[in-house]
Amino acid sequence: MRIGVLAGRAKIVTSGRAFDIADISGRRFGPEPMAVYEAWDDFVAWAATADITSAGPAEPFTIDKADAPVPAPRQIFGVGLNYRAHQLESGLPEPDVPLVFTKFPSSVTGPAGTIDLPGDQVDWEVELAVVIGRRAYEVPADQAWSHVAGLTAAQDLSARDVQMRPAGTPQFSLGKSFPGFTPLGPVLVTPDEWVDRDAVPLSCAINGEETQSSTSADLIFDVPSLIAYLSGILPLLPGDVILTGTPSGVGIGQNPPRFLTDGDEILTQVGDLTMRHRVAARR
């Protein structure tokens, strides 16, 4: 099943058509997207038996009109240096435990559109994003997937100058939380729909030139390990988002470093999900 959001309302998306969850469920679920995640187990049980495609009128689902499939998560976690080649390009030692930071929810945006550049050191990071469906607290890795609503595509845009300051005690959360710095989408795809949920291909291209290409099979800490680690510390709530880390090929790893400039196009690909953004210098 694929979940998308149009005009603030949660939709089931199938073959490019969007069915309004509140309408087809007789108002039992939605329309508010976060309310669907809050009732995830009941919603999935209902959807398994509902006759969705004959349930009512559908509208076209296009990425230009879509909001993030998770527009207002309560918590967003990011993981640093979680692909070995990216850890090597950063010049930092391999972590023994996940390196976790937060991204503030006001940074979430949809799968297409224009994102303002707050400076001249903004970098791209394609990532596989995990969305929690069932509250997870002290969940062991072998039970972690049952707490996942689905996976989606993400960018973890990063203003490297702000992220790395002050020297010696860098502030990742702020450097990665400018408005528009967490694009998600275009839809959430439930774990059963992936060819291999533990080996999802992901790539990023800037102005048509591929900069990153990998698979989530190369994660140092995989999805179950991240959920076990985080949920051992605090509860993960329905609709929470975990950005699992970025592979090598970010701009700051190039020699000389390369950053996004006015008019650049970012193409983000995770499995069969595509996001397309343009960046614009602040005027």
Please report, as ranges, the residues that interact with Zn ion according to CB under 5 A. 125, 156, 246
Q: Which residues contact 121 (CB under 8 A, 6 or more apart)?
A: 159, 160, 161, 252, 257, 259
Q: Smaller CB distance to Zn ion: residue 55 or 252?
A: 252
Q: Smaller CB distance to Zn ion: residue 87 or 246?
A: 246
Closest approach, Cβ 205 to Zn ion, in A, equals 17
Q: Smaller CB distance to Zn ion: residue 20 or 125?
A: 125
Rounded to an integer, what distance in angstroms lies between the CA atom of residue 245 and that of residue 77? Answer: 10
Contact criterion met (CB below 8 Å) for 76 and 104: yes
Q: Smaller CB distance to Zn ion: residue 18 or 159?
A: 159
Helix (H, G, I), strand (E, B), or coil: what is residue 77?
strand
Q: Smaller CB distance to Zn ion: residue 125 or 222?
A: 125
Residue 41 has phi, psi (to 5 degrees) of -60, -45
What is the Rg, in whole angstroms, of the alpha carbon atoms belonging to the chain? 18
Instruction: Write the CA distances from 68 to 32, 62, 106, 124, integer angstroms.
Output: 12, 12, 12, 18
Question: Is the C-alpha dihedral spanning 280, 128, 187, 140 positive or negative?
Answer: negative
Please tell me whether the peptide bond between 105 and the residue prior to it is cis, using omega within 30 degrees of 0.
Answer: no
Q: How remote is the C-alpha of 240 from its chain's centroid?
A: 10
Contact criterion met (CB below 8 Å) for 235 and 247: no
Residue nearest to Zn ion (CB): 156
Q: Smaller CB distance to Zn ion: residue 125 or 240?
A: 125
Q: Smaller CB distance to Zn ion: residue 156 or 222?
A: 156
Question: Is the C-alpha dihedral spanning 154, 271, 64, 43 positive or negative?
Answer: negative
Closest approach, Cβ 158 to Zn ion, in A, equals 7
Q: Smaller CB distance to Zn ion: residue 67 or 156?
A: 156
Closest approach, Cβ 176 to Zn ion, in A, equals 7
Q: Helices (DSSP H) in the chain: which residue ranges?
A: 21-24, 33-38, 40-49, 84-90, 160-163, 172-175, 223-231
Closest approach, Cβ 80 to Zn ion, in A, equals 6
Closest approach, Cβ 210 to Zn ion, in A, equals 18
